[in-house]
Amino acid sequence: MEKYRYRVTVDGRIFDVTVEELAAFPSMQEKGIACHQEELPSSQLPPDLLSIGAWVDVEAPMPGSIVELAVKKGDVVKAGDVLLILEAMKMENEITAPQGGRVQEILVQAGDTVAAGDILLRLVS
């Protein structure tokens, strides 16, 4: 199976991604299985999902421990605003908002230990 590397830009943010080619599988329709896809009407969606636009997960750039949260759920932030303080190798690092938005969810609290790549919080626009 081949892997392909791409650089993708989404809303001004650059991501390096690897795409792996998978073996081809016949679709459900090719196998004679009826399939139907239906979107839920907005009346059946949870209220907090109705207001969500695009979101970005803010990840820990390095392993460390959370010293302080500078925001709370629902806060509106601008790109560059400090979201939290992460201590790594006895240095305090400000983790800032990569874009403006509203803090939708905070997945850590002061005292938590995180690994590089762990999701710290989610911002929605």
Query: So where are the chain's domains?
Result: 52-125
Amino acid 101 reads G
Under 8 Å between Cβ of 51 and 74: no
3-state helix, strand, coil in the chain (%, to 5): 5, 45, 50
Chunked in runs of 10, what are the mean pLDDT values of the chain (125 residues)? 73 76 53 44 48 76 96 94 94 93 94 94 88
**CATH pick for 52-125 out of 3.10.20.30, 2.40.50.100, 3.20.20.140, 2.40.50.70:** 2.40.50.100
The pTM score is 0.59
Nearest Cα neighbor of 103 from 82, 79, 76 is 76
